[in-house]
Structure 1
C-alpha cells in the first residue's frame, strides 16, 4: 500500500515533527510474514484496507473482527463502536449502520432484525439491527440485553437477509470514510504546501522550496533546522 499525504507513516517521521494531517498517522505492524497498516481512532486499532486519493476516501476494518491476516472467523464479536473524534473524517453514503445487541432475552420480530445464532448461549439471544432513516424504533429495555455496539460497514446486496451466516465476511469489508481539508491547512495547501506539525510550534506548512512557514508558502517562511 502506498501511504501518501495527508496520511503519514509514524515510524518514518521524527519524534518532534510530521508532515500530514493530525490523526492520520499510520503504523505498519508486522503480523506473521506481513506488514499491516493500522490507524488508531480514540485508542482503538483499525486496519487500513485501501486508500483512494482520487475520491479522498479510505477503507478501514476493525482489527477485532478483520480476517486479515489471521485465520478467518465466521462469527467475530465486536467490542466497540467507531469514534472519529475531532479529525476531519466522515462516513460516506456507501455505508450501512448496524446495531448489535448481545445476550438479550429475545430479539424483536422486525424485518430489519436478524438473530445471530453463533452468539447464543444459555437461552440468551443476540441480534443485529439494520439501521436506516426508515427503521422502526425499538425499546431495547424490554429485552434486557447486556451489551450494545453500533458499527458501520460498506453496504452490499448480500447483506440482507444473509448477515447471520455471512457476518464475518460483511464486517471484514470494513467501512469507508472520506476526508476534508483541515481548517489550518486551507491556506497552506492553497499555496501548494503540505501541512504538518512540530512539537515546539504546533501547526507548520512545508513548502516545495525546502522552507517551512507558520501559515502558508506565500507568507514569511523560515528554514527548518534538522
Structure 2
C-alpha cells in the first residue's frame, strides 16, 4: 500500500512539475512576448523594464535603459540604484510605478537601512547625470551647512551634528535671503538636496528634516534617445557590453542591433 502511495505521489509530482516550472518562469518574465527581458522581485519592489537587475543579468548584456540597473543584494536585499554608477551616489528605491513612470528614491546615506538612523547626515548633492529623470511632485530644496561657527536666523541648528564650537544647520532654500554671505560663518561644507514636501509646520525643522529625508524624492522618467527606434518599433532596448552595441529585444525572443522588423517610422 505504501509503495502504491509513493508511486502515486511521484506521478503527481511529475505531472505538476511543468506547471510549477511555468509559474516560476512567468514570475521572472516581464512579458511572455519578451522572454529576453526579465522582471524580478526585490523586497517589495518589482524590478522590470526599463529597469533591470544589475547583479542578476548576464555580464555581457542587459534589457533596459543604461544607468537603470538596480542592485538587489545590498543591505539585506533592498533595491539600490547607483545613479550614474558613481559608487558614492546610491539610492534606495522603495517604490516604482510603471504605469505613471515614477520612482521614489531615498539617499542611502540617510535611509532607514543605514545606521545611524537617529541622526542622518547628507553627504552629497543629487546628481542625476544624463539620465532621463525629472523631479516630480511637491518638492522642497534643503540646504545643509556643516561645522560652522554659528547659525543664521533663517536656518535651524541640528543638535546631533553640532558641538559647542562647531554648528551644523538646515534650512529650506525658499527662506534664504538673496545673495546671503555664508563666508561669515566659516562652514566646512554645504550640501544641497531635494525631498518631498512632507513637512508639518507645527513641528520644528530640526526634527522634521529627518522624516523628510527618509521619505526621499520622486522622479519621473522618459524615453532615452538611444531607445527611440527600438521602442517605437515595438521592442525593448538594451545593450551588449562585448560588442558595445545597442540591442533591441523584440516580440517572440528575437534580438537585433537596431529595431524590430524594420517598422520604425520617424514622426
TM score, norm. by length of structure 2: 0.74
Task: Identify which of structures 1 and 2 has the higher relative contact order when contacts are C-alpha pairs closer than 8 Å and 6+ apart.
Answer: 1
Matched ranges for 1:209-220 at <5 A: 209-219=252-262
Is the alpha carbon distance of 1:72 and 1:170 closer, same or farther for their aligned partners in structure 2, counting shifts above 3 Å? farther
Residues 1:148 and 1:28: Cα distance change in structure 2 (over 3 Å)? same
Deviation at 1:74, TM superposition (A): 2.6
| Alignment CA distance shift 1:74-1:102 (3 Å) | same
Tell me how far 1:135 sits from its aligned partner: 4.5
How many residue pairs get aligned? The number is: 214
1:62 to 97, 101, 107: 107
Partners in 1 of 2:97 and 2:166 — Cα distance? 42
The equivalent residue for 2:173 is 131
Gaps of 5+ in 2: 1-44
C-alpha RMSD of matched pairs (Å): 2.0
Q: Counterpart of 1:18?
A: 62
Q: Which has the larger radius of gyration?
A: 2
Gaps of 5+ in 1: 221-226
Q: Which structure 2 residues correspond to residues 1-226 of structure 1 after superposition, within 5 A?
A: 1-31=45-75, 34-41=76-83, 42-43=86-87, 44-68=89-113, 73-110=117-154, 113-132=155-174, 135-137=176-178, 138-158=180-200, 162-199=204-241, 200-219=243-262
| Bigger Cα displacement from structure 2, 46-55 vs 87-96 | 87-96
Aligned-pair distance for 1:72? 6.6
SS in structure 1 at match of 2:190: strand
Q: Deviations over 1:179-199 (max 9, x none)?
A: 110001112111110010012
Structure 1-normalised TM-score? 0.87
Give the superposition deviation at 1:139: 1.3
Contact 2:148 2:168 in 1 (8 A): yes
Deviation at 1:30, TM superposition (A): 4.6
CA contact (8 A) 2:195 2:215 kept: yes
Alpha-carbon offset, residue 201 of structure 1? 3.9
Deviation readout 1:36-77 (Å, 9 max, x if unpaired) = 110102322211111011221111111111113x56723211
User: Any conservation in 2 of the 1:39–1:46 contact (CA below 8 Å)?
Assistant: yes
